[in-house]
Chains A and B, each alone.
Chain A
């Protein structure tokens, strides 16, 4: 079970979730993707869309950078 990182802090909707899906597609079932994103629209939509499309959102953690969060998604 491998761990991967993705930074989408510079992306806008809907490319935030597009980029997340592109990365998830490269993972094996059970692998973890740590998605770094900004609060507001990305934080509202990416975890919600991931759950809707059948992925597990394990946790959402705040980083030391203000307004930036890590969404931990398991494939």
Chain B
């Protein structure tokens, strides 16, 4: 593709990088990324991917903006309260970078629609806040051979892992969702707003590294941090031959909608 004068200016700081350059920026501009969840993680992910010029961004989220979201979901503004999150996010993305094509799905990501939606994308980003959908994203991507970025935040902690076919998946590390009763209840499940930005931008950087080939992805490495001590660590992980979905004798061969803890349903 030939960049026009505006695009050369807009993407100049990427073009200057040896590891991105003109070729890398072209790959970014041709990329199609699905972000599951337009909330705390989805907001910075969508912002940075849009700013970077990702060609097509898909956004799936069934929620509408609530006042309690604004403490961390920075793509939504006060006047967006009650608006579908995907619509609010699409409006901001288009204002940030009109080059980006945004496709919205104002619905839940479920076992019924997962394969049909992810098939149109090159990479999937988990920006959700509940275990059932995290496992659903993992299983759908592993079974479809689709790379994805797992991300999770709670209180002051964040963790992320990048998956490419053949590397350790989320289930290799965590076999199944915790039972609904074991999930922190509403009163326990606060989150420091800025943590969403910390983790979401790491996930966005992984997406850009994936498409440009720059550096080493967080594949077979789980990165976690705690913002109170501000300590980051990565632990090496590896594909688990007993993994229920990518192991030698998989028991998960179709998609499952796990039960969601009651207080996770209304956030």
B21 touches A18 (CB 8 A): no
Expressed in whole angstroms, the Cα–Cα distance for A54 and B21 within the complex equals 12
**Contact of B78 with A by CB under 8 A:** no
Expressed in whole angstroms, the Cα–Cα distance for A38 and B21 within the complex equals 24
**Contact of B8 with A by CB under 8 A:** yes
Expressed in whole angstroms, the Cα–Cα distance for A18 and B21 within the complex equals 9
Expressed in whole angstroms, the Cα–Cα distance for A53 and B23 within the complex equals 14
Chain A binding surface, main DSSP class: helix
**Contact of A22 with B by CB under 8 A:** yes
Which residues of A28-56 have CB atoms within 8 Å of chain B's CB atoms?
52-54
Give A30 Cβ to nearest chain B Cβ, in Å. Answer: 17
- CB neighbours (8 Å) of B21 from chain A are 21, 25, 53
B18 touches A15 (CB 8 A): no
Stretch of B9-17, B156-164, B217-225, B228-236 that contacts chain A: B9-17
Give A7 Cβ to nearest chain B Cβ, in Å. Answer: 15
Interface size of A in residues (CB-CB distance below 8 Å): 12
B22 touches A53 (CB 8 A): no
Give A44 Cβ to nearest chain B Cβ, in Å. Answer: 16
| Identity of the chain A residue whose Cβ is nearest the Cβ of B19 in the assembled complex | A53
Expressed in whole angstroms, the Cα–Cα distance for A13 and B9 within the complex equals 12
Give B22 Cβ to nearest chain A Cβ, in Å. Answer: 4
Expressed in whole angstroms, the Cα–Cα distance for A22 and B13 within the complex equals 12
A52 touches B18 (CB 8 A): yes
- Would A53 and B8 be within 8 Å (CB), given that A22-B3, A25-B23 are in contact? no
- CB neighbours (8 Å) of B18 from chain A are 52-54
What would 15 A/B residue contacts be, using CB atoms closer than 8 Å? A14-B16, A15-B8, A15-B9, A15-B12, A18-B12, A18-B16, A19-B8, A21-B16, A21-B22, A22-B3, A25-B22, A25-B23, A52-B18, A53-B18, A54-B18
Which residues of B come within 8 Å of A, CB atoms? Answer: 3, 8-9, 12-13, 15-16, 18, 21-23
Question: Which 6 residue pairs across A and B have the least CB separation, nearest first?
Answer: A25-B22, A18-B12, A53-B18, A18-B15, A21-B15, A14-B16
